[in-house]
Amino acid sequence: MEDLREDRPVDLVAALARARSSERPGADTPAGTAVRTWPGPPLPIPEAGPADLDLRTLLLLSLAASDDSGRLRPASSAGALHPVDAELVVGAGCSLPPGRYGYDPLRHRVHPIGRPADGTPPGVTAELSVTARRTVSHYGHRAWPLLLLDTGHAAAALFLAARALRVDEPATRLDGLTGNPLAAVHIPPPDGRSPTRRAGGTRVPEAAGGPPTPAELLARRSTAPPLPGAPSDDALRAVLSVAVRAGGSELRWCAAVGPPRPGLVELTPEGTALRRYAAGEARPALAAWAAGQAWVADAGAVLLAHGCPGDADAAHIRLAHLRAGFAVHLAHVTARRHGLAARPVGSWQQADLGAALGAAPDRDWVVHALALGTCHADEENTT
Ligand SMILES: Cc1cc2nc3c(=O)[nH]c(=O)nc-3n(C[C@H](O)[C@H](O)[C@H](O)COP(=O)(O)O)c2cc1C
């Protein structure tokens, strides 16, 4: 059997089937270092000139750790294990000289690892890959879907940081076509010298309310369970709408809601309203499927990304999970903007949503989720 700690290649089709099974992971194994060992000296990132893309702030708002253990970062991560590594391909117009750099998120330093290649576009391209061992250390055979979801979250954190810096056209490459890098985010310099098309990326529509502020990004956290309180229809529609627009065509999105009318709701095709497409309380089944996390049954609502059938090939699996992580991260920041508590839920076993709703089995699996509530239980108790 393939060693799951290998960063690549991994047989993703087999890895996903096993992660979705009822098999339980064994005891924890060593996670290794929290940062990849980059060669060469660590360098501080210089202050940006007025015409430069400010890489120091971009990384501070997206990937940098704000505590010594490295767990607290603007990007969320399953088990706070942060397996995503970033290489920066720097072109003209940035606060670092052109070249390739490895990023150390604990020290907020860069390591020069290569000369600039011919044809490097202006701005920076952050290429994301994973050190699988970090996530495997706790999740064992359940790690690979989480590694892909984490990469999507990190890409979204970079995208949002670029928007917070008022970059008009950050372009994400989450096509799932390569195992390394798994994803790339291209951010042009302020004067727009690099058209998005040249980087081969996809434009992501903006959430209502405009770009995020730096403070919003640094304040994002996953609310500790429980997450009681049903979100209003308006807030749920805003969160679903961001997820649908960022999630691409491979995934479908719905939300499980509780009383007074428990069931699954989705956006209407125009995206202007919610409609019910299944009746009945789904949250206890979701809690059982989410590695038995009982608190999920009491969350005010659970946003679900689903799809990725059992016969999906490796590229499709990568694409669906990268997109789900990306969209759930954007949805998380939108949820906070609407005053909601939110927590991603990424470990799903036997979560065949389609079969549970009476459709053909193995076609429509839960891929990722965001539990939502109106406030934290502690707040509720004190008011
Ligand atoms: C892909 C992914 C899956 C996650 N799955 C779960 C989960 O199943 N249960 C849970 O309580 N938290 C889950 N989380 C939340 C993480 O535990 C949380 O992001 C991490 O502890 C870091 O905390 P922060 O988000 O507040 O920065 C998940 C996060 C991500 C990105």
Give me ligand 1 centre to Cα 149, in Å: 11
Last-in-domain residue among 186, 216, 246: 216
Last-in-domain residue among 191, 216, 241: 216
Domain containing 47 — which CATH number?
Answer: 3.40.109
Quick one: 203 and 244 in the same domain?
no
pLDDT digits (tens, 9 = 90+) for 207-239: 778 899 999 999 999 999 999 999 999 999 999
Q: Is the minimum distance from the CB of 146 to ligand 1 under 6 angstroms?
A: yes
Domain containing 285 — which CATH number?
Answer: 3.40.109.10
Quick one: 124 and 80 in the same domain?
yes
Residue 226 within any structural domain of the chain: no
With 50 as the cut, is the pLDDT of residue 1 above it? no
Q: What is the DSSP letter of 43?
A: B
Q: Which residue bears the tokens 């509780």? A: 258
The reported pLDDT for the residue numbered 6 is: 67
CA distance 356 to 256: 13
pLDDT digits (tens, 9 = 90+) for 257-296: 999 999 999 999 999 999 999 999 999 999 999 999 999 9
State the residue range of the domain holding 48. Answer: 12-216
On whether the CB atoms of residues 343 and 222 are closer than 8 A, the answer is: yes
- What's the number of domains the chain is made of? 2
Quick one: 203 and 261 in the same domain?
no
Give me ligand 1 centre to Cα 223, in Å: 9
Quick one: 47 and 106 in the same domain?
yes
Residue 370 within any structural domain of the chain: yes
Residue 227 within any structural domain of the chain: no
Whole-structure pTM value: 0.96
Last-in-domain residue among 151, 184, 216: 216
Quick one: 146 and 250 in the same domain?
no
Give me ligand 1 centre to Cα 78, in Å: 4
Quick one: 290 and 191 in the same domain?
no
Query: What is the spatial order of strands in the sheet that 274-279 belongs to?
Result: 274-279, 263-267, 251-257, 301-307, 365-373, 341-345
Residue 5 within any structural domain of the chain: no
Q: Dihedral sign, CA of 116, 117, 123, 128?
A: negative
Residue 64 within any structural domain of the chain: yes
Q: Is the minimum distance from the CB of 293 to ligand 1 under 6 angstroms?
A: yes
Q: Which residue bears the tokens 């005010």? A: 300
Bridge-partner residues for 183, per DSSP? 128
Quick one: 175 and 27 in the same domain?
yes
Quick one: 63 and 175 in the same domain?
yes
With 50 as the cut, is the pLDDT of residue 194 above it? no
Q: Which residue bears the tokens 């890409």? A: 155
Quick one: 252 and 125 in the same domain?
no
Quick one: 80 and 187 in the same domain?
yes
More confident residue, 249 or 197: 249
Residue 197 within any structural domain of the chain: yes
Quick one: 171 and 286 in the same domain?
no
Give me ligand 1 centre to Cα 130, in Å: 17
Quick one: 136 and 269 in the same domain?
no
CA distance 29 to 331: 32
With 70 as the cut, is the pLDDT of residue 2 above it? no
Q: Is the minimum distance from the CB of 135 to ligand 1 under 6 angstroms?
A: no
**Average of pLDDT values for 178-195?**
84
Percent with pLDDT over 70 in the chain: 92
Residue 7 within any structural domain of the chain: no
Residue 126 within any structural domain of the chain: yes
pLDDT digits (tens, 9 = 90+) for 358-377: 999 999 999 999 999 997 65
